Amino acid sequence: MKKMYVLLSAVMFILLLNSANVYATGYGENPEYSFVTTDGNTVTTKANGKPKILIFTMPTCGPCNRLIQEITDNSTQYSSYDVLVIDVTGSSLENIKAHKQKFGTTPIVFCVDENRVGFNYKYKLENELTIGTPYSVFVNSNNEIVNYYEGYSSDYFKVTCNSFGVTTTEKTVEQQSNYCSLSKVKGIKATKKKNKTIIKWKKLNDCVTGYQIQYSKSKNFKKKVSSDYVIGTTRYTINGKAKKMYIRIRPYVNSGGENVYGPWVIKKI
């Protein structure tokens, strides 16, 4: 009897370990579900050699539509991933087709969720029965769930990259500039007063973390360079008697603890 008890205990312990692995870091293997697309084809949640993003949405959800539009407008950045937009309301295929047409030409595959698959993912990942939209599930090329994200923000592209272990610094400068307007700062103006100089410039995209500003008497910025960072404003004050000098400003984005910079703009003041 004792041997049987020990054996059953061992089996239960192994089952508990296996069960825990499903919810451990990485969230385990991605289950496979099938959907009908607006093209009449069948697509599954399974990733076959290419990372996949599953986005559960509702046609009337404002944040959902903004996310779809962002991915459509920045298709180059998302070209490394298969993206499925899955309607959780059970709308008809015709309604989903009409919804897709609002975004014009898009690489996103639109699907109908007739079997509450979105709720299954929500329960698997968070042990909850209600789902907020948009709800994104990130699946790597080995068909393993690596992250999930509920909601939408202007940093969604960074969330995507970080989910797959890719920092935005690994993207090309051109892609960075297209995504986050890391272009040249414009409209630089300097106002000199008796004991200070006030620098102002035009604001870039909201996803810019801040700006780096440097000033020096040296045109090539090789001698006595003062440097600072500006966050949350497009104004900077240099204290002290107004003098002739050179300033340069560039925008930056912080991603994964690293700064990605745009080009310098130099101005003599």
Q: Which domains does the chain have, with CATH numbers?
A: 17-166 (3.40.30.10), 182-268 (2.60.40.10)
User: How confident is the model over 18-46, as a mean pLDDT?
Assistant: 74
What's the DSSP call for residue 170? G
| pLDDT band at residue 199 under the 50/70/90 scheme | very high
pLDDT greater than 70 at residue 35: yes
**Predicted pLDDT at 67:** 92
User: How confident is the model over 1-25, as a mean pLDDT?
Assistant: 38
Query: Is omega for the bond preceding 134 within 30 degrees of 0, making it cis?
Result: yes
Q: Ramachandran region of residue 240, left (φ > 0), alpha (ψ -120 to 50) or beta? A: left
Query: Residue 103 phi/psi, 5° resolution?
Result: -100, 5
DSSP three-state, residue 53 = strand
**Predicted pLDDT at 168:** 58
Beta bridge pairs of residue 225: none
**Predicted pLDDT at 210:** 87
User: How confident is the model over 236-257, as a mean pLDDT?
Assistant: 82
What's the DSSP call for residue 245? -
Average pLDDT over the chain, rounded to an integer: 81
pLDDT greater than 50 at residue 213: yes
Question: What are the C-alpha distances in Å from 80 to residues 59, 144, 214?
Answer: 25, 16, 37
User: How confident is the model over 252-260, as a mean pLDDT?
Assistant: 70
**Predicted pLDDT at 5:** 45
pLDDT digits (tens, 9 = 90+) for 152-181: 877 788 788 777 877 655 554 444 444 455
**Predicted pLDDT at 157:** 80
| pLDDT band at residue 223 under the 50/70/90 scheme | confident
First vs last C-alpha separation in the chain: 91
* pTM tops 0.85: no
**Predicted pLDDT at 178:** 44
240, 258 contact by CB (below 8 A) = no
List, as one string, the DSSP characters of 177-204.
Answer: HHHH--------EEEE-SSEEEEE----
